[in-house]
Amino acid sequence: MIKVLVTGARGQLGSAIKSISNSCEGAVGFTYCTSAELNITDIDSVMAMITTNSFDYCINCAAYTNVDKAEENSPQAYAINGLGAENLAIACKKANVTLIHISTDFVFSGKQSQPYLETDGTEPLGSYGKSKLRGEQDIQKQLDKHYIIRTSWLYSEFGANFMKSMLRLGSERAELSVVFDQIGTPTYAVDLAKFIIYLVQNDTAKYGIYHYSNEGVASWYDFAKAIFEEAEINVKLKPIRTKEYPLPAKRPSYSVMDKAKVKTSFNIEIPHWRDSLKEALKNYNSK
């Protein structure tokens, strides 16, 4: 049996992995740790967990993800997203464990007008992106056996996310304003979870950085419009510019990622975001 540690188990992606883990049919055994059960900023706790349990993989879903609060609380963001990632890499190296680490499109500036490749230069705009980039860099320094998966606009029936916020606001208001000048790709957390489990089950050893999001391109306005259309909620949507809805942290205006590398390396097909949205809403409504 392949033994896997999942950190940040109560978050969106950890919950998504747990929801589909029965598909492994006993071939993979998962140990789920919440941040309360395993503080990845504590190197002693991380070493004890990883070096004494004979894990084959560690999937790091633990992260400080509040983009705006990271601006005023950057030490904690760096502790979790930077130091925490490094601690896991150090322990994984000692125990010969493969680390699968989740990163973000926020490592890019958004100044490009074509999809970002894994080899494109990084230039994060705020503390969240900078802390996630630090984690990537520290993992690469400490550990050869790693997958760093950059993803974007993660949503699902689990946790707090844009889809669930829109559904709530759509039931409360007749009109909403949503920015239309930030372009990226919504990613269903369950699709990403399926790919991660594929990596674990197939043990390809094709280590490195990969981009994984759903197919297609959208603005936040497009995403919101699709949510309301699929959910059959009648809301008047007003497209606005980012400057009309100022927030503490700058967002990349364009963060579409090129997925050619992940598709060719692992011979996988990735669903279009609109198809995955239908699946997410179906699963959300059946909860």
Q: Which positions are annotated as active-site residues?
A: 128
At residue 132's C-alpha, the angle toward residues 131 and 138, to 5°, is 90
DSSP 173-212: -SEEEEE-S-EE--EEHHHHHHHHHHHHHH-----EEEE-
Tokens of 258: 């090129």
Rounded-to-integer distance, Cα 210 and Cα 269, Å: 14
How many other C-beta atoms lie within 10 A of the C-beta of residue 172? 9
List Cβ neighbours of 73 (8 Å cut-off, separation of 6 or more). Answer: 64
List Cβ neighbours of 79 (8 Å cut-off, separation of 6 or more). Answer: 41, 64
Rounded-to-integer distance, Cα 230 and Cα 228, Å: 6
